[in-house]
Structure 1
């Protein structure tokens, strides 16, 4: 197995394709990257910017390149000893016209060759769904779209299709009879019944009527293709038949302002294996599993053997050919049986590096038996970020937040409330489907026969809203103690909130815990297990939407903690917790990824590094925000007695400006537009004053106007005059947090992952802001300058980098140095154990220090933090004059001679390393023992 030394995440799309990656291959190699970590490169929906909307996993996305270009890129990377870690998407595909598997299902229904592909509830309780798939892809109500002429029937060589803007859906073959026989009498008169082409047309109708009863799957598809070919031949060669078809198309498409004229098309649509509807319907009624709440992403039944092998065939071939050396599995929690999936995947691809996207709560552990090397690193990100938040100031910071905003709801209460909101507004249909399953189960026993549909759904909703983790992994009648504990915790909390439904909750608990099944038939036991596994597939999306995409935009106490997989109610991570996390990682998940920024993070890693500085100075922070609010009060618009934005949104904005304000003045105008785009997304996600489902233009426009006034760089601006000096101070301290973050990420146990472009300052916000083009020419020039400086005059280079910190070259330099160390000492960083080191002296709490040891070789990491009481904003945290008596106390068995890999300086220390010596030239140290 090739374990990556380091990975570099690339977001492939039409604007950054294989050729663009080819152009930076040498740069990645020079930087010290061992593996390119690629976003999905399978054929996706046209114009996809991320690749997760796959339409065909058996083909390369033509927008990113050809198979030949892929091979050329892989060969070039391999020439530089760079492997390929591929992100794969087993959970879902795009609900799109170019998804031929789905189109086959929509055309042929139960007789489709791809009928097993998608997670569809064909036997839905609602008659309008039964035997049909909802297609909630219309921008307005179905009736409005139909009568406005937006839904149109077309005919071409591929057959009949229903079109709605770019959406093109097939028409089932049985409906061709309705289409062809409309006005058929006119054709009879024109050609006569004995005309060969008329006879052929009648023969086609006979074939259509006989197909459903005779054939399924591939044979059916072949016969349909034959009939379509015959009809197209008749259409192309006989003018009268062409006129009939063209006239029928016009008749079916109706006339705007004449509702009755759309009856033909409405009747034809009612016959299809899909039901077109407004996109909003999907929030409350749905009969297919989606990715979270995204109607345009339909979930795949990868648990089915045929589907698994079909969707993984190209991946398997690439691995056999040696083109890719590792896999990252997207959204593992969405799968029906994650453990079984990973077992199948391991069997298919063999001994290759596999990591999974898995969100873990604080102290939560991934199932120990999973066939994977670890996660894609969100838990590491939150531990790393949290260690720079000063926990002892939590009470003061809470007071600041409450006093400014008036917000008093606890984080836990907000999470529960917002998960209920998502159940009501976004996942109502999904919960309703699950509740219907529960109602069916309850009727099988005398204990549950009297439970009402309302009581069961209300109880189920409460359990879902209070579920403490993304999901459990019950797949048999054997439960782990961990899963049992999560289920019992949710049920107990639900009983406190809705005690009148205690009987229903007890019943749900027994089902989830697989209890009281002795008197059930095997079929009933299987139905119960199926319910449990569908329940588990729903808790994750609910957690993601209720927490990540709602609560994290409302609970704004300290935004650096509002991150994917994070829990901002935990005000930072203690040093002991950080060390304990890394020690445990060595025991089981040694090769899990270490992320600090991803394509999904809420804000850039250096934005978080800045905002963490605020946790050190709550009093000064309060003084500043109160002053800004006074200055800006007159800039707010008053609507119906309320100021816009409200105080919580205003507090959110101030933190965002402090964290993301660019170093370069030239970037400020673009920054204003970026902030405005970001704020609209943030307040819609918050769902307090506006939302994606129902935007409030008055609130949004007023908020944008407020931002325009705050960030008016052309006029005299009192706010900016006061804001900028404070923001620059925070940014100055944030730089040192960022450098320490780089050092810790690259030397702690795990595989460090570098998100595209983050080798310089990452002051981006949530997507799409964090997917803007990366200036690689600039980075390559900087790296060449750094390499030249290292060769010619190392100390002068470091002084220059420190003097020009705002350019970001200092971050690139540190990244380069630690990656070179990982390349030179691969076993030390890949296999080394983890030992926290004791720090003593005046600033002991301001240092993170640990050792990695492997076969007598030792690396010591020394990273500063909490620097506001240590240095002034214009000072550097260097030398004895700053660190005074602070020192790292060494275990007796360690070496006396060390080399700082970052600066190349040598140190001698028998029992302790003085911070002033280790941090003499650079604000961080990586010491390697010299035996």
Structure 2
């Protein structure tokens, strides 16, 4: 198995294709990257900006280039001895006209070859979507769309289709008879009943009315193709037939202003295997599983063996060809049976590197039996980030946040409230479906016969709202102790919330824990297990939407903690927690990924590094906020009894500005526009004053106007005059935090992952902002200069880099030096143990240090933190003058001769290493034994 030394994430899209990636491969290799880490490259919806809306996983995405361009990229990667880690999407595909498997289902229903490819409930309780799949893809009410002439019938060589702007859906063959026979008398008059073409048309009608019900598979497809071919042939050969079809299309498409004229089209649509509806319907009534709450992403039944092999055929081929050397599995928790999937994947692709996108709570562990090398690294991100948040100042932040914003609820209470909001608004249909399944199960036995649908749904919803992790992994009558504890703890908490539903909760608990099943039939046991596994597929999306996409935009105590996989109620991580985490990683997941930014993170890694500085200076921060709020009070709008923005959103904005304000003045105009786009997304995600489902344009417009006033006329703006000196101070300390973060990512156990462009400062907002184009020419030029200057006078180079630190060149330099060390000592960093090092002296709380050893080789990483009491803004925290008596106490057995691979300077040690000596020329150190 090839274990990456380091990975570099590329976000492919039409504007950044295979050829563009090929051009930077030499740069990545020179930087020290061992493996390209690619976003999905399979055929996606036209114009996709991310590749997760796959329409055909058996083809490469033609928008990224042809096979020749792909092969050129492969050749470049292999020429530089690099690997290829590929992000794959087994959970869902695009609900789109270009998804031919899905279109086949919508045209042929249960007769489709791909009928069981998608996670659709064909026997839904609601009659209007029973044996039909909901298509919540309209931008308005169905009645408005059809009567405004936006839904149109069309005919071409492929047959009849229903069209709504770019959406094109097929018409089932049985509906052709209704269409053809409309105004058929007109054709009789034009041709006569004995005309050969009229007879042919009658023959088509006969075939349509007598399609054998037993015709399946190829036989049915042949018959459908035969009928369509005959009709098109008549259309092309006979002008009267062409006129009839055109007239019928016009008639079915109705006349705007005459609602009754659309009855024909409405009747035809009611015959289809799908029901077009307003997109908001999907939140409350849905009969297919989506990716989270995205109607345009329909989930795939990859648990079906034929579907698994079909969707993974190209992936397996590219692994077999030696092109993919590893895979990263997107949204593993969305799968029906993750354990079974991983076993099948391992069997199919063999002994290659596999990681999973998995959100783990602070004390949660990845199931040890999974056949993977680890996760994509969100838990590492949150542990490292938490190191730079000063936990001692949590009470001060609590007091000020409550005082300024009026937000008094605890994080746990807000968490449950936001998940309830999602249950009632965004996932109401999904929860209803699960509750109906539970009601049917309850009706099977005497013990559940008296439970009402309402009571069961209320109890189930309480459990879902209180569920503390993404999901459990129960797949049989065996329940792990970890899953058992989660379920029992959740049920106990639910009983306190709804004590009148204690019996219902205990009934659900027994089902989840697979208890009391001895007297059940095999079918009933299977129903209960299916319910459990379906519920497990719902807890993850609920957590994602309730916490990541709602609460993290509304609980704004300290935004650096509001990150994917994070829990903002944990105000900081203690060094002991970080060390324990890394030691467990060595024991179980040595090759899990270490990331600090991804395409999913809420803000760039250097934004978090800046905001963490605020945790060190709560009083100064509170004073600044009060001053800014006073200055900006008159800029707010008062409408309908409310002040816009409210204090919580105002506080969010100030933190956002402090964290993301650009170093370069030239970027300021673009920054303002990016900020406005971000603020709209943020307040909609918060779902307090506005939301995607119910946008409040008044609040949004006034919030944007407020932000514009804060940033308008920078030369004379009173707020900016107050803001910029403070922000500049935070940015200086943020640079130091960032450098320590880079060191820890590249030296701790695991595979360091560098997100595209992050070798310079990453001050991005959430997607799509974090997928902006990267200036690689600039990065290549800087790397070339560094490589030229470094061998001659590294200390002079470091001095120059500090003078120009705002450019980000210093971050690239540190990244380069660390990646070169990882390559040179690959075995040490890939297989080495992990030893926390004791720090002693006055400033011991300001140092994180550990050793990695394997065989006779050793390395020591030293990362400072909490810089505000150590140096003035812009000063370097170097030497004994800063670090005084602070030192490392070395365990016996470590060498005494070292080289700092960042500065290339030697260092001698005995039983201790003075921090002032180790950090004499650069703010962080990586010492490798000579």
- Scaled to the shorter chain, the TM-score interval is over 0.9
Q: Give the drift of 1:874.
A: 2.7
Alpha-carbon distance in structure 1 between the residues aligned to 2:222 and 2:583: 60
Q: Secondary structure at the match of 2:163?
A: strand
Counterpart CA distance in 1 for 2:211 and 2:780 is 62
Q: Does 1:857 align with 2:830?
A: no
Q: TM-score, normalising length from structure 1?
A: 0.99
Q: Does residue 385 of the first structure (1) align with residue 385 of the second (2)?
A: yes
Q: Which stretch shows the higher mean deviation, 152-161 or 396-405?
A: 396-405
Q: Residue in 2 aligned with 1:239?
A: 239
Q: Is the 8 A contact 2:134 2:288 kept in 1?
A: yes
Displacement of 1:642 after TM fit? 2.2
Query: What CA distance in whole angstroms lies between the structure 1 residues aligned with 2:420 and 2:11?
Result: 34
Counterparts of 1:295 and 1:603, CA distance in 2: 25
2:29 alignment counterpart: 29
Matched, 1:598 2:578: no
Query: For 1:265-284, what aligned pairs fall within 5 Å after superposition?
Result: 265-284=265-284
Distance in 2 (CA, whole Å) between partners of 1:743 and 1:662 is 23
Could you say which residue in structure 2 is the equivalent of 1:613?
Answer: 613
Aligned to 1:442: 442
**Equivalence map 1:671-710=2 (5 Å):** 671-710=671-710
Equivalent residue runs for 1:85-484 within 5 Å: 85-484=85-484
1:885 corresponding residue in structure 2: 885
Q: State the SS of the aligned residue for 1:447.
A: helix
Once the two structures are superposed, residues 835-857 of structure 1 have per-residue CA deviations (whole angstroms, 9 ceiling, x without a partner) of 00001111111011000001110
C-alpha displacement at 1:492, in angstroms? 0.8
Alignment-derived partner of residue 812 in structure 2: 812
Q: Secondary structure at the match of 1:669?
A: helix
Which whole-Å CA distance do the structure 2 matches of 1:193 and 1:372 have between them?
70
Name the CA distance, whole Å, in 2 between partners of 1:900 and 1:264: 79
Aligned to 2:743: 743
Once the 2 structures are TM-superposed, how far is the Cα of residue 713 of structure 1 from its aligned partner? 3.5
- 3-state SS of 1:601 partner: coil
| Separation in structure 2 between the aligned mates of residue 475 and residue 178 of structure 1, nearest angstrom | 47
Structure 2 CA distance, aligned partners of 1:184 and 1:800?
85
Q: Deviation at 1:214?
A: 3.1
- State the match for 1:574 in structure 2: 574
Residues 212, 63 of structure 1: CA spacing in aligned structure 2 closer, same or farther, 3 A cutoff? farther
- Provide closer, same or farther for how the CA distance between residues 616 and 479 of structure 1 changes in structure 2, counting only shifts above 3 A: same
Counterpart contact for 2:733–2:874, Cα < 8 Å: no
Matched, 1:68 2:68: yes
Q: How many angstroms does 1:212 deviate by?
A: 4.9
CA deviations over 1:312-344 (Å, ceiling 9, x no partner): 000010011111100000000000000000000
Matching residue of 2:780:
780
Deviation at 1:65, TM superposition (A): 1.1
Number of the residue aligned with 2:651: 651
State the match for 1:519 in structure 2. Answer: 519
Alpha-carbon contact 2:714-2:720 (below 8 Å) kept: no
Find the aligned partners of 2:41 and 2:751 in 1 and give their Cα distance.
Answer: 22
- The structural deviation recorded for 1:715 is 4.9
Shift of 1:689: 0.4
Deviation of 1:208 (Å): 2.1
Q: Where do 5+ consecutive residues of structure 2 fail to align?
A: none
Specify the alignment match of 2:928 in structure 1.
928
Post-superposition Cα deviations, 1:333-373, rounded to whole Å, max 9, x if no partner, equal 00000000000000000000000000000110111111110
Residue 572 to residue 77, structure 1, CA distance change in 2 (3 Å): same
Check whether the contact 2:124–2:130 (CA below 8 A) recurs between aligned residues.
Answer: yes
- 2:814–2:902 CA contact under 8 A, matched in 1: yes
Map of 2:589 onto structure 1:
589
How far apart are 1:747 and its partner, in Å? 0.4
User: What displacement does 1:227 show?
Assistant: 1.3
In structure 1, C-alpha distance between the alignment counterparts of 2:715 and 2:905, rounded to whole Å: 50
User: 2:179 aligns to what SS in structure 1?
Assistant: helix
Q: Deviations over 1:72-97 (max 9, x none)?
A: 10111110111110000000000000
Answering whether residue 907 of structure 2 is matched by residue 907 of structure 1, we say yes
Distance 1:875 1:140 in 2: 58
Aligned to 1:766: 766
Rounded Cα–Cα distance in structure 2 between residues aligned with 1:259 and 1:504: 48
Greater mean deviation of Cα atoms: 599-608 or 707-716: 707-716
- Which piece of structure 1 moves more, 45-54 or 226-235? 226-235
Inter-partner Cα distance in structure 2 for 1:784 and 1:733: 28
SS at match of 2:149: coil
CA distance in 1 between counterparts of 2:831 and 2:890 reads 21
Distance in structure 2 (CA, Å) of the matches to 1:53 and 1:688: 29
Deviations 1:711-754 (A, max 9, x none): 11345111100110010110000000000000000000000000
Deviation at 1:218, TM superposition (A): 2.9
* Structure 1 pair 702–219 and aligned structure 2 pair: CA distance change class (3 A): same
- The corresponding residue for 1:803 is 803
Mapped to 1, the partners of 2:636 and 2:374 lie a distance apart of 48
Tell me the SS of whatever aligns to 2:860.
Answer: strand
Segment drifting more, 213-222 vs 556-565: 213-222
Alignment partner of 1:742: what SS?
helix
Per-residue deviation, 1:489 = 1.2
Distance 1:314 1:463 in 2: 40
1:552 CA displacement: 0.3
CA distance in 1, matches of 2:211, 2:334: 37
SS at match of 1:370: coil
Shift of 1:66: 1.1
Quote the Cα distance in structure 1 between the aligned partners of 2:756 and 2:773.
9
CA distance in structure 2 between the aligned counterparts of 1:535 and 1:436, rounded to whole angstroms: 12
Correspondence for 1:546: 546
Closer, same or farther: CA 6–311 of 1 in aligned 2, 3 Å? same
Q: Secondary structure at the match of 1:104?
A: helix
CA deviation string 1:680-735 (max 9, x = no partner) = 00000000000011111111111111111101134511110011001011000000
Matches of 1:363 and 1:29 in 2, distance apart?
Answer: 36
In structure 1, the residue matched to 2:754 is 754
Report how far residue 469 of structure 1 moved.
0.3
Q: 2:897 corresponds to which residue?
A: 897
Matched position secondary structure for 1:630:
helix
- Distance apart, 1:69 and its partner CA: 1.0
Taking the aligned partners of 1:713 and 1:784, their CA distance within structure 2 comes to 39
The reply to whether residue 827 of structure 1 matches residue 827 of structure 2 is: yes
Whole-Å Cα distance in 2 between the matches of residues 612 and 218 of structure 1?
62
Equivalent-residue separation in structure 1 for 2:215 and 2:587 (angstroms): 56
The CA deviation string for residues 404-440 of structure 1, in whole angstroms up to 9 with x for no partner, is 1111011101110010100111000000000000000
Structure-1 separation of matches of 2:90 and 2:454: 34
How far does residue 206 in structure 1 lie from its aligned partner after superposition?
2.0
Aligned residues: 930
Identify the residue that residue 10 of structure 2 maps to in structure 1.
10
Deviation per CA, 1:826-877, whole angstroms, max 9, x where unpaired? 1100000000000111111101100000111001000110011111113110
Taking the aligned partners of 2:368 and 2:212, their CA distance within structure 1 comes to: 49
Cα distance in 2 between the residues matched to 1:918 and 1:856: 21
**Offset from partner CA, 1:530-575 (integer Å, 9 cap, x none):** 0000000000000000000000011100000000000000001100
